[in-house]
Amino acid sequence: TGGDDATLKLETAGSGFRDFTRVAQGSPEMWRDIFVANRDAMLTELASLRQVMDRAEHALREHDAVWLEEMLARAAQARADWPGNLK
């Protein structure tokens, strides 16, 4: 957590946030080992995530609602296409 209002943010987060952050319940040592064992893949994914986050920040600053909607539509489609998804 971070920031002065971190407690408030956690208190007001919806149930989806709990599901999204369930990995944090796991053993820090286990996840450390997984991250270290997959170092190159993790670095690649972190760089990709940083690019998307930077682009999302730019879209918000520039009021680029079209890009935001397209990004959210792609995310929704990726979730719908997830293997094993119940339809």
Average pLDDT over residues 24-35: 91
Query: 4-8, 16-20, 41-45, 75-79 — which one is most confidently predicted on average?
Result: 41-45
Of 84, 81, 55, 83, nearest in space to 70 by CA? 55
The tokens for 43 are 């670095």
Task: Give tens-digit pLDDT for 38-74.
Answer: 999 999 999 999 999 999 999 999 999 999 999 999 9
Model-wide pTM > 0.85? no
